Amino acid sequence: MKFDGKVALVTGASRGIGRGIALELCARGADVVLVGRDRAALEETAQVCAGERPGAVAHVVVCDVADNAAIEACVAETLERFGRLDFAVANAGQSIDSLLMRLKPDVLDQLLNVNLKSAFYLCAAVSKPMMKQRSGSIVLVSSIVGLTGNAGQAAYAASKAGLLALAKSLAKELGSRNIRVNAVAPGLIETAMTEKLPDAAKEALVKQSALGRAGTPKDVGGVVSFLCSDAAAYVTGQTIVVDGGVVM
C-alpha cells in the first residue's frame, strides 16, 4: 500500500487515533493535512511525520471541525496547496459520559456537533473535488459503542452510530463517481482519552477481547490505510470493527 503523490486530510490529528492514522498514511507516502484546534499538538504530529519519512509533507490547519464554514475553508486551503485530495478521514470526536436522565441539552448538542455534524460537513466539502477527480476514499471513525450501545453513553453512542448510517448512505450517493466511503469502529485503544479510565474498567475491557490486549493507534491506522488503498477498491459502505475480538 503505497500512497506516493496522494494527499490525505485527517481531522482530530493532534493526538491519539488521529495521529496514528496520519502517521500511517504519511509513512506510506501520502502528504497529510493535519486538522484540529490545538496548534502545538498538531505541530508535534507534523514533526513526528517528518521523522517517519524523509521529505514528508505535513501541513497543519487549525480549524473548528464543528464549524461548516471553517471546514470548507480548510478543504479549499488543501486544494490550493496540493491541487488534489485523495483521502479524507473524519476522526475528530469527543466523549462525555452521562446517564440520559441527567444529560444536559448543551452536552448533547456538543457531542452531536463534534462527533456527527462535523463528519457531515467534511464529507460535503471533500465530495466536490473528489467527484471532479472521479476518485477518492472517505473513512469515518466511529466506535464499537455505535454498534452495541453502552449504559451512560447514550449520546456518545448515538452520535457514533450516526456515522455508520452516514457511511452507507454516502457510499450509495458517491459510488458512481468512484468514491468509496467506509467506517471503522475501534474498541479500547490506548490513547490519552482512555488513560483516564479506571484500571478496573480497562482490565474488564481487555478481558472481553479475544486477543487479550488493548489496541493502539497504529492498529487503527493500518485498517484506515487499507480502506484508502487500491487493495480496498471494491470495498464501500462497510464498517470494519477494530477491537481485538470484542464484537463478533
Q: With beta carbons less than 8 A apart as the criterion, state whether 12 and 45 touch.
A: no
In a domain, 248, yes or no: no
User: Domain for residue 1, yes or no?
Assistant: no
pLDDT value of residue 55 = 87
> Which residues span the domain enclosing 152?
7-242
Number of structural domains, the chain? Answer: 1
Does a structural domain hold residue 114?
yes
Q: Find the catalytic residue in 3, 87, 121, 156.
A: 156
pTM to 2 decimal places: 0.96
Q: What is the 3-state secondary structure (H, E, C) of 136-155?
A: EEEEEECCCHHHHCCCCEHH
SS3 48: helix
CA dihedral sign, ordered 190, 238, 124, 9: positive
Residue 156 catalytic?
Answer: yes
One-letter amino acid of 215: G
Please report the DSSP string for 6-46 in residue order.
-EEEEETTTSHHHHHHHHHHHHTT-EEEEEES-HHHHHHHH
Give the Cα separation of 33 and 31 in Å (integer): 7
Q: List the pLDDT tens digit at each of the 248 positions of the chain.
A: 899 999 999 999 999 999 999 999 999 999 999 999 999 999 999 999 998 888 889 999 999 999 999 999 999 999 999 999 999 999 999 988 899 999 999 999 999 999 999 999 999 999 999 999 999 999 999 999 999 999 999 999 999 999 999 999 999 999 999 999 999 999 999 987 777 777 887 888 899 999 999 999 999 999 999 999 999 999 999 999 999 999 99
